[in-house]
Amino acid sequence: MNKLLLINGIAIIFLLFACTNNQTKKELPMPPKAEKIKHELTAHGHRRIDNYYWLNERENPKVIDYLNAENAYTKAVMEHTESFQKELFDEIVARIKKDDSSVPYKKNGYFYYTRYEKEGEYPIYCRKKDNMQAVEEILLNVNEMAKEYKYYQVGDLSVSEDNKILAFSVDTVSRRIYTIYFKNLETGELLKDKISVTAGNSTWANDNKTVYYSTKDSETLRVDKIFRHTIGSEQTQDKLIFEEKDETFGTYVYKTKSKKYLVIGSYSTLSTEYQIADANDNNPEFKVFQKRERDLEYDIYHFENKFYVKTNLDAKNFRLMETSENKTTKENWKEIIPNRNDVLLEGVDIFKNYLVLSERKNGLTELRIINQSDKSEYYLNFGEETYTAWTSTNIDFDTEILRYGYTSMTTPNSTFDFNMKSQEKTLLKMQEVLGDFNHENYEAKRLYATATDGTKVPISLVYKKGLKLNGKNPLLLYAYGSYGYSMDPYFSSVRLSLLDRGFVFAIAHIRGGQEMGRYWYEDGKLLKKKNTFTDFIDCSEFLISEKYTNKDNLFAMGGSAGGLLMGAIANMRPDLYKGIVAQVPFVDVMTTMLDESIPLTTGEYDEWGNPNEKEYYDYMLSYSPYDQVKAQNYTNMLVTTGLHDSQVQYFEPAKWVAKLRDMKTDNNLLLLSINMETGHGGASGRFDQYKETALEYAFIFDLLGITK
C-alpha cells in the first residue's frame, strides 16, 4: 500500500474546502484514502467487486495503520471541539450519583446488591446475611480487578445453593468470550478452577459442587456446547452434556425458579427447544420437553407439579398453556390465556397465588395481575401516555409482593414493590439525577405517523416545556427496528444535554421491532425489511410536517442493526437529514450473510434471509448499505466502531466509510471513530463510555453552530 495514502490522514496534507456547519471555511486535513485492491465475489451468476475486502484482515499492520489514520483524521477535524467535548463529558458525569447502590433483593437468606464508590469506574458486588443491618460481604470489587486492563467486564455471577462458592465470568478483550472463575466466599480465595471460551453464564446443580456452562465456537462465536464441571477438576475433564449441531441454533443452560429442574435451551430466530433434568441428580439425563419444529416457539416456567408454557402454537401473538411435568409434549398443553390479535404476550411471572403477565398493547407494556384462586384480575395503572414497565427480580413463589421497574421519557428509572393483594405500591428507589433536574420541566408525547402504505407508526418524543412548533427546532430521531426488539421510551439523564439545548428527542417505533405485536415484527424482516427504512423516513417527514423540526435541523441515530437502518436511509434520503450518527453499524449485509465463517452469521438467516437462495440474495442486495453506495451527495456522517466487536465486525463500517469517501460527490463531513480497545458495547467503565457520547453530541452541535 502506498504509505502516503495512510499518512495523509495524520494531518500532513491540508485542504481548504467549504464546510457544512456555521463556520464558512476552515482548514482541515485531507481524509484518508484507502487503497483499492480488487476482490471479486460471485453468487447466483452475479459478480460484485469489493475493493476494500482486504480491510477484514485484523492482524494486518496495513489495516491497523489505516484505522489509525481514520482516527487521526477524526481527531483533527474535531480538534476545535475538544474542550467542548470535555465540558459535555463533565456535564453528563456530573448528573450521575457517584456513590450509588442498587435495591437489594433476597435470595437464600442473603440480601444481594451492587454499589459504586465515588470515583469508581466499576461496580462492587456485595451481600449481607439475614438483613441489611448485617456486616457487608464484598463478593467482587471490580475496580481492583480491572486495574491492569484497558477493558474489563464481569459477566454473570452465580452463588452455590449453600452460599459458599461464587462463580463469575470475565471478558478482558470485549469480544464477549468469557472465562469463568470460582471464589470461596468463606475464605475469600480464588479456586484453581478456570473455564475458558465460554458464553459467560454458569448454573449450579443442587449439590453445590457441579456447574453447567456453555462454550462458544472460537471462530463463529456461536454458543454451541453445554458442559458439566465438577469443582476441583480441570476443564479438560469436563463432560460434554449437549452439542447443538444445527448452525442456525445457539444453546444455553439455566435452572428453574423452583430449583427442581436444570434446563438446556436451544434457540433460533423462529424455533426453540428445551431439555429438562432433575437438578438434584448427580448424573442427570436430559429429556426433550417438546422437540423443535419450524416456526414453533415456546418458553417454560415450572411451578409445583406442572409447567406453564408461553407459546406461539396456533397463536401469532402467543398464548399461555399449562401441562403436567410428566407429560410435556404439545398435545398435552391446555390453554389458560388465549391468543389476542391486538395484544402480545411477552412474559410470565409465577407466584403461589398470582400470575403476572407482561403484555404489549398499542406499543406499550402492561402488567396484568391474575388471582389464581378466584381468577379476578386487574392491570397496573402507570398514569402516563408513553412509558416503559417491566417485572424485576422476583425470586420467591410464596409472596404477595411483585417487584417491578418503571421509567418514562420524563421519569427516571424507578423500582417499586407492589402488594398484589392490597394493591399498594412502595417506591424503593428512583434514579437520582444530580444538579437542577426537575421532571416537570419536560414534556413527553406519543404521536403517530402514517407510513407510505397507510400503517400508523408510533413515535415517542420528549422536549423541554415551552417548545414552539415553528419548524425550527433541532431534533434527534432514534430507532432500531430489527429482531423483534422493542425500543421502548425510557429516561436518560445523558439526553438532558440535548433537551436543555433546545433539542427534541424522538424514538420511532418502526416495523421490525415488536412494539405493536408479532405482526409488527414480521412486517419488518426478511422480504419486508424495507418497511423498516421507509417507516423511519416517513416518521422523519411527519415530524417536519408537524413543525417539530426541518431538514436543516433533523438528525438521525441508530446502532448495530439500527446502524443498518442509518446506512439505508443515508443512501435513500441523504437530503432529509442534517447529519447521521451510525453506531457500530451492520452495513455490509450481503458479504457478511454469505460468509458462514463470520461470527453469528448462520443464526441470522431467519432474520434477514439466506442469500444462498436467489430471492433473498436479490432482495438483500437491493438495500445492503455498502452495496448501494453510489455517486451522490451524502449528508454529514459520524460512524463509530470497535476493533474487537463480536457482533458487527469492525471492517463493515471501515469498508463502508472507505467506499463512501471514494463515491460521494459532496464536501460534507464523513468521520470514522474506531475504539481500538473495545467491542460492540464500547468502553467498560461507567464513566468512560460517555467520552464516546460527548464526541457524538459535539459532532451534532458543531453542525448547528452550538459551542456551549
Indicate the pLDDT class of residue 22, thresholds 50, 70 and 90.
very low
| Residue 18, pLDDT score | 33
465's enclosing H/E stretch is: none
Q: Which grid cell is 280?
A: 438434584
- pLDDT for residue 27 is more than 90: no
Averaged pLDDT score across all residues of the chain: 92
In a domain, 238, yes or no: no
Whether residues 426 and 507 share a domain: the answer is no
Indicate the pLDDT class of residue 679, thresholds 50, 70 and 90.
low
* Beta bridge mates, 442: 464
List the single range of 183-192, 372-381, 497-506, 600-609 with lowest mean pLDDT: 600-609
* Beta bridge mates, 272: 267
Residues near 585 by Cβ (< 8 Å), separated by ≥ 6? 558, 559, 560, 562, 563, 564, 566, 567, 625, 639, 641, 648, 652, 653, 656
Percent of the chain with pLDDT over 70: 94
Whether residues 448 and 423 share a domain: the answer is no
Within 10 angstroms of residue 13's Cβ, the number of other Cβ atoms is 11
Whether residues 496 and 589 share a domain: the answer is yes
Whether residues 382 and 426 share a domain: the answer is yes
Whether residues 455 and 541 share a domain: the answer is yes
Whether residues 457 and 376 share a domain: the answer is no
For the chain, counts of helices (H) and of strands (E):
13, 39
Whether residues 536 and 608 share a domain: the answer is yes
List the single range of 159-168, 349-358, 405-414, 668-677 with lowest mean pLDDT: 668-677
Active site residue 560: yes
| Residue 33, pLDDT score | 93
Contact 241, 226 (CB under 8 A): yes
In a domain, 601, yes or no: yes
Within 10 angstroms of residue 530's Cβ, the number of other Cβ atoms is 15
What's the 3-state SS for 149-181? CCCCEEEEEEECCCCCEEEEEEECCCCCCEEEE
How long a stretch of residues is the chain?
708
Indicate the pLDDT class of residue 243, thresholds 50, 70 and 90.
very high
| Residue 7, pLDDT score | 30
In a domain, 472, yes or no: yes
Q: Which of 292, 214, 204 is nearest to 256 (CA)?
A: 204
Active site residue 645: yes
Whether residues 493 and 607 share a domain: the answer is yes
Indicate the pLDDT class of residue 14, thresholds 50, 70 and 90.
very low
Q: How many CA atoms lie within 13 A of 575 on its CB side?
A: 1
Of 398, 432, 466, the residue that ends a domain is 432
Per-residue pLDDT tens digits for 40-76: 999 999 999 999 999 998 889 999 999 999 999 999 9
Q: Which of 444, 568, 553 is nearest to 506 (CA)?
A: 444
Whether residues 532 and 603 share a domain: the answer is yes
Active site residue 680: yes
Contact 550, 640 (CB under 8 A): no
Catalytic member of 202, 560, 646, 684: 560
Helix (H, G, I), strand (E, B) or coil at 520: helix
Whether residues 414 and 467 share a domain: the answer is no
The DSSP annotation for 285-348 comes to: --EEEE---TT--EEEEEETTEEEEEE-TT-TT-EEEEEETT--SGGG-EEEE--BTTBEEEEE
Residues near 262 by Cβ (< 8 Å), separated by ≥ 6? 203, 205, 212, 253, 254, 255, 276, 277, 278, 279, 284, 286
CATH of the domain at 564: 3.40.50.1820
- pLDDT for residue 1 is more than 80: no
| Residue 20, pLDDT score | 38
In a domain, 84, yes or no: no
Catalytic member of 160, 302, 680, 684: 680
Whether residues 11 and 117 share a domain: the answer is no
User: Span 3-30, mean pLDDT?
Assistant: 41
How far is it between the farthest Cα atoms of the chain?
78
Percent of the chain with pLDDT over 90: 84
Cα–Cα distance, 267 to 146 (Å, whole number)? 33
- pLDDT for residue 684 is more than 80: no
Catalytic member of 645, 646, 673, 684: 645
Of 432, 467, 489, the residue that ends a domain is 432
Expressed as residue numbers, the domain containing 370 is 344-432
In a domain, 283, yes or no: no
Cα–Cα distance, 422 to 402 (Å, whole number)? 12
Going by DSSP bridges, is the β-strand pair 425-430/387-391 parallel, antiparallel, or unpaired?
unpaired
Of 412, 432, 452, the residue that ends a domain is 432
Indicate the pLDDT class of residue 601, thresholds 50, 70 and 90.
confident
215's enclosing H/E stretch is: strand 210-216
Name the residue with higher pLDDT: 676 or 708.
Answer: 708
In a domain, 58, yes or no: no
Q: How many independent structural domains does the chain possess?
A: 4
| Burial (Cβ within 10 Å: 0-12, 13-18, ≥19) of residue 77 | buried
Per-residue pLDDT tens digits for 324-367: 999 999 999 999 999 999 999 999 999 999 999 999 998 899 99
Could you tell me the pTM of the whole model?
A: 0.87
Helix (H, G, I), strand (E, B) or coil at 69: helix
Contact 657, 640 (CB under 8 A): no
Whether residues 481 and 615 share a domain: the answer is yes
Q: Which grid cell is 358?
A: 407482561
Helix (H, G, I), strand (E, B) or coil at 537: helix
Cα–Cα distance, 227 to 523 (Å, whole number)? 38
Q: Which of 147, 153, 210 is nearest to 176 (CA)?
A: 153
Contact 569, 549 (CB under 8 A): no
In a domain, 326, yes or no: no
In a domain, 675, yes or no: no
- pLDDT for residue 291 is more than 80: yes
The alpha carbons of the chain give a radius of gyration, in whole angstroms, of 26
Q: Which of 616, 479, 628 is nearest to 560 (CA)?
A: 479
